[in-house]
A and B are shown apart, each in its own frame.
Chain A
Amino acid sequence: MSSEPGGIYGDRHADRGDLHGVTVILAGRSGRTYLGRWHEATPRGVVMKNVAIHDPAAPGAKPREDWLADQRRFGVAATESVLLVPPDEAGEVARLV
């Protein structure tokens, strides 16, 4: 089996960068964590799709690592179909997996 992208309508939109379509953890400088599919980085911020947000200040919020473990196991509990994270909020990025 080829390691090249395969199948019908096979692969990513390479013009949008390496992370396009990949589920990432975006650390917010506010302390929030944004978990969703990276769409693209623009001058107005990072566009993400199907995003779950962890806010440690929210009542009853789980510890961040517990929340992430839940998302890894059961899938992303998205509350936002599309989200723009402004440049002054967007911090480190890591893949969920």
Chain B
Amino acid sequence: MPYPEAMIAPMRDEVTRLGINELRTIEDVDTALGSASGTAFVFVNSVCGCAAGRARPALAHAVATAARRPAGMYTVFAGQDVDATARVRSYFGEYRPSSPSAALLKDGEVVAFMHRHEIEGRSAEAIASDLIAAFEAHGA
């Protein structure tokens, strides 16, 4: 069951204020990812304080620091925007759902994926370092 929007709004804002476009509908997702060309990063946001509370600051650090970034930067909120999240996951191929998580796609194929289990219990610096490495390896 979704959380009250008033509770979620600051968590959305923590990502969108980085210039990352939030995908709220199936149409949004298909418009963003459907062309299957270029590089696209998708952060699957989550209420979970255990992991998302580290992932969001890590993402902010990575966005501010990486020398190269994917051409498209997107986010979707798991558990809140259910249809959009399911649609985003349909672009992730064999990678199973978890939240928070992050995927980097190049020409429609996943080239890097960070699962929840690679986020939880780690410092924001360590998570950011992995994101920066992926951005710089595959970014535009």
Check if A74 sits within 8 Å of B96, measured CB to CB: yes
Interface residues of B in 91-140 (CB under 8 A from A): 94-98, 101, 113, 115-118, 120-121, 123-125, 128
| B36 close to chain A: CB less than 8 A | no
Q: Which of B14, B116, B123 contacts A23 (CB 8 A)?
A: B116
Return chain B residues, CB-CB under 8 Å to A10. 49, 53-54
When A9-B53, A20-B50 are in contact, do A1 and B61 touch as well, CB less than 8 Å?
Answer: yes
| B42 close to chain A: CB less than 8 A | no
Check if B94 sits within 8 Å of A74, measured CB to CB: yes
Return A41 CB to nearest CB of chain B, in Å: 16
| B11 close to chain A: CB less than 8 A | yes
Cα–Cα distance between A23 and B50 once the two chains are bound (Å): 11
| A76 close to chain B: CB less than 8 A | yes
- B interface residues, how many (CB within 8 angstroms): 34
Check if A74 sits within 8 Å of B57, measured CB to CB: no
Check if A76 sits within 8 Å of B96, measured CB to CB: yes
| A57 close to chain B: CB less than 8 A | no
Cα–Cα distance between A75 and B92 once the two chains are bound (Å): 11
When A74-B96, A77-B96 are in contact, do A12 and B124 touch as well, CB less than 8 Å?
Answer: no
| B56 close to chain A: CB less than 8 A | yes
Return chain B residues, CB-CB under 8 Å to A22. 50, 117, 120-121
* Beyond A6-B53, A10-B53, A76-B96, 14 additional pairs, beta carbon < 8 A: A3-B124, A6-B54, A6-B56, A6-B57, A7-B14, A8-B10, A8-B11, A9-B47, A11-B49, A21-B120, A37-B120, A75-B97, A75-B116, A97-B118
20 chain-A/chain-B pairs, Cβ below 8 angstroms: A1-B58, A2-B124, A3-B123, A3-B125, A5-B53, A6-B53, A7-B53, A9-B10, A9-B11, A9-B47, A9-B53, A11-B53, A11-B54, A12-B50, A21-B51, A22-B117, A23-B120, A75-B97, A75-B98, A77-B96
